[in-house]
Structure 1
């Protein structure tokens, strides 16, 4: 358990009901990441390391929705069940929740876009981000690229992400792109070795 050190944080990306089975924009096998993420959460809590969680928190008329000409069905509308974290994901009470996609006219795949995430990370002295959640080929991809641009060391928790895969290889391409940007693939076994 000596892998973690001061300056580390776990970033849980968009694990929300609408992206899970039964949701309006369910990610295939999305529920499978919850036990994996929970293992990471437990380690970070035990180490008293900070946990951040992003969430889509869209207005009902968000530009990404079909009704507004966007590519997606309505999802994660603020204050609805679909936007909530699932009860099976036990985020610690100290988690800092970052809402994104709150402006009707702006898409925001990245947890950094139009949010205070970078400010919170800076205030906490974070230099290394461990990133898991949904979905590999959209919000994980953009969040990781922005984190690298902001000079965070990023560990991609490859056993705790799943892709939408609109095209069959989108998730694999996204992982390749993140690694090319400097993200380090990491699995649970490596963290606790």
Structure 2
């Protein structure tokens, strides 16, 4: 079965200590695991997608403007990939796909579903941040599209520990995703 690894929002603003909406140390601890998975998927000739939040400065119409501080603003360092993941992207950027997203889900308003369908990919593997926001909404959309989903418990993190734990249970018991612990 063809599969794809989706690295979601592993950017400076979401992961670095001084990021604008950081999950801090829990997110930073994922760097090695995510890097290993990227390299594994590339060696196996599987698809790797970097799905990253994109916001415009002072956008009064985006719903997140009222919910969160400005983050992942176009043209800022906050959109750069964090740590080893960023270094790995630079080495392999011709082999992977960068996907800008403007909503929580990597599917909402993007061509991700079409790209997966074209490649006959029926299973996605999710890593990145935040477990209970963008990972969750991507997993829900995958469920609704009939795409099997695998979540790496040690490959996702959040700034909300209770939300993180809730989402891991929700993936497995409500969405039928495989959670690798």
Per the normalisation by structure 1, the TM-score is 0.84
Determine which of 73, 86, 105 is the counterpart of 2:69. Answer: 73
- For 1:164, the equivalent position in structure 2 comes to 159
- Give the gaps of 5 or more residues in structure 2: none
* Equivalences for residues 28-47 of structure 1 within 5 A: 28=24, 29-47=26-44
Secondary structure at the residue paired with 1:169? helix
Q: How far apart are the structure 2 equivalents of 1:95 and 1:22?
A: 27
Deviations 1:58-103 (A, max 9, x none): 11123345xx5x11110000121101112521133211111111xx
- For 2:179, the equivalent position in structure 1 comes to 185
User: Structure 1 residue 22: deviation in Å?
Assistant: 1.3
Determine which of 8, 13, 17 is the counterpart of 1:18. Answer: 13
Q: 4+ residue runs of structure 1 moved beyond 2 angstroms?
A: 61-65
Determine which of 4, 9, 19 is the counterpart of 2:4. Answer: 9
The structure where helix makes up a greater share of residues is 2
User: Structure 1 residue 164: deviation in Å?
Assistant: 2.0
Considering only aligned residues, what root-mean-square deviation do their CA atoms show, in Å? 1.4
Q: Do the aligned residues in 2 keep the contact of 1:30 with 1:162 (CA within 8 Å)?
A: yes
- For 1:191, the equivalent position in structure 2 comes to none
Determine which of 53, 56, 68 is the counterpart of 2:50. Answer: 53
- Give the gaps of 5 or more residues in structure 1: 1-5, 102-107, 188-193
- For 1:123, the equivalent position in structure 2 comes to 118
Q: How far apart are the structure 1 equivalents of 2:37 and 2:83?
A: 17
